[in-house]
Amino acid sequence: MNRTFSRRRDRLLVYRSMRENKLSSTRRTKCPECGEESADLEWERGLQVCPRCAFHSPIGAYYRLSTILDPGSFQELEEKLVPADPLAFPGYPAKVAGLAESTGLSDAAVAALGRVEDHRAVFVVLDSRFLMGSMGTAVGEKVTRAVEHAEKKKLPLVIFSASGGARMQEGIFSLMQMAKTAAAIQRFQSRGGLYISCFTHPTTGGVTASFASLGDVILAEPGALIGFAGPRVIEQTIGEKLPEGFQRAEYLLDHGFLDQIVPRDQWRAVLAQLLALHEKGGRT
């Protein structure tokens, strides 16, 4: 039943993006991972997972929410939060203005109230198109307010991370967002809140070292790069190439840092199951 429904929904999504992006059945896109070309239609049908090698290509925050939430249940939270410029960093305001224009985002995070198979939750999704999903003051504030909203409404919290870490352009204020978000999560959890953290490709630095690693349940997409230090920094430090698969989701699973790896088309089912399992008294 749910499976049928979700297939139909996926198909609808394809049609919608065909309409909106003039997706043509003949255009082909090369996979950055395996180098093979596939038709855009196939990419779209697979929710931007490579039809050849199953590479989970990064996707935007609104798009991800559209693949997970029940249709019509999306209600955006705190959409007006915009980046601060505490260092008066040269070129930063122009940069974020340009990105806001091209992506339609106010910063690298989208927060929303929504439902997954009728289970309500608060969602935050980071978007790597906006300065690599880095966390400055607006992202930190949005995550924190989303946590507070979940706490106030006694709702579970689901966060999808994709981030290069603390945002350099906002300096020490970005660093402090790590403490702020971790503290908010800690308080939320100590009061009984359920927090499901979902790592997507790539998540490193200050986001890995704060809220993303604090989930009651921690999940990741296949192949996602997850770490504290980025691979290039590590290679420079140790002076050698890193082994294949290092810092990938499968590696973290092996080392005990993930509960499960979830393919992109399974998020709805997995989240619905977890949300149901945490409802008071279970579902009857």
Contact positions vs other proteins (CB under 8 A): 82-90, 92-94, 96-97, 136-137, 140-141, 144, 166-180, 182-187, 190, 204-206, 208-214, 226-229, 233-234, 237-238, 242, 246-247, 255-257
What's the closest the beta carbon of residue 86 comes to other proteins, in angstroms? 5
Angle, helices 171-190 vs 137-153, to 10°: value is 10
Q: To the nearest whole angstrom, how small is the minimum distance from the Cβ of residue 134 to other proteins?
A: 10
Please, what is the minimum distance in Å from the beta carbon of residue 59 to other proteins? 23
Nearer to other proteins, 47 or 108 (CB): 108
Token readout for 218 is 């921690």
CA–CA dist 273, 114 (Å, integer): 15
* Closest to other proteins by CB, 69 or 138: 138
Going by the DSSP 8-state scheme, the letter that residue 107 receives in this structure is S
Q: Closest approach of Cβ 242 to other proteins, in Å?
A: 7
Contact between 86 and 173 (Cβ < 8 Å): yes
Q: Which structure tokens are listed for 226?
A: 């997850």
Closest approach, Cβ 201 to other proteins, in A, equals 15
Nearer to other proteins (CB atom), residue 184 or residue 262: 184
Identify the bridge partners of residue 114 per DSSP, sorted by sequence position. Answer: 121
Prior bond of 71 cis (ω within 30°): no
With CA atoms as reference, report the closest residue to 278 among 124, 186, 112, 157. Answer: 157
Tokens of 40: 């855009």
Q: Which amino acid is at 60?
A: G
Take residue 34 and report the two structure tokens written for it.
């395996």
Using the minimum distance from each CB to other proteins, give the nearer residue, 37 or 254. Answer: 254
Q: Which CB atom, from 18 or from 176, has the smaller least distance to other proteins?
A: 176
Long-range contacts of 266-273 (CB under 8 A, 24+ apart): 267/67, 267/68, 267/198, 268/6, 268/67, 268/68, 268/116, 268/117, 269/2, 269/6, 270/219, 271/68, 271/116, 271/119, 271/121, 271/158, 271/196, 272/2, 272/116, 272/117, 272/119
Decide whether 31 or 96 has the Cβ nearer to other proteins. 96
Q: Which one, 242 or 277, has the nearer CB to other proteins? A: 242
